[in-house]
Structure 1
Amino acid sequence: MSAGLDSTEIRNEFAAVRLTVRPHGRGTRLEVSCSDLGTTALLDATVLEALTRFSPEELADLVGVAMQASDTTVDGELPPVPGQA
């Protein structure tokens, strides 16, 4: 992967992620990585803009679904996604 333009870590008592701005194609992406989980996501401006349209409550619902999905190794099934049948 190409070198990042700028990088910082954000953490609290529950999680820590590294944010890095990366060149990608003709633009840039925000790379969000979690070394504890070994996961990474590249987010473009469209995805980031879409996140700004959610209320704090809707964002909390998304976080809850993601946290439940990470527990599938224990339960064996995915949790329902709000708004989907």
Structure 2
Amino acid sequence: MIEFRPNAPKWRQIADILKARIADGTYPVDTPLPSEHELVKEFGVARGTARKVLTKLKEEGFAYAERGMGTFVAPANTPES
């Protein structure tokens, strides 16, 4: 688990961590992002917080969802080769 900064919402801090992982190639294009359950387990947050993280990543264009499959890294916001 990480130590959260008190001056920023937890969901934003986790979203920033996931965006950094996308940028550094930890999560390549079209690969699944952690599920809500995995985010809850890794970061020790409520399921609603984990859901908001994934929702915001989709809204910001970093991820897309496939019904019944999960949330995946979108190609638009990854470093170009």
Q: TM tier, shorter chain?
A: under 0.3
Q: Larger relative contact order (C-alpha < 8 A, sep ≥ 6)?
A: 2
* Structure with greater strand share of residues: 1
What TM-score, normalized by structure 1, do the two folds share?
0.26
What TM-score, normalized by structure 2, do the two folds share?
0.27
Larger radius of gyration: 1
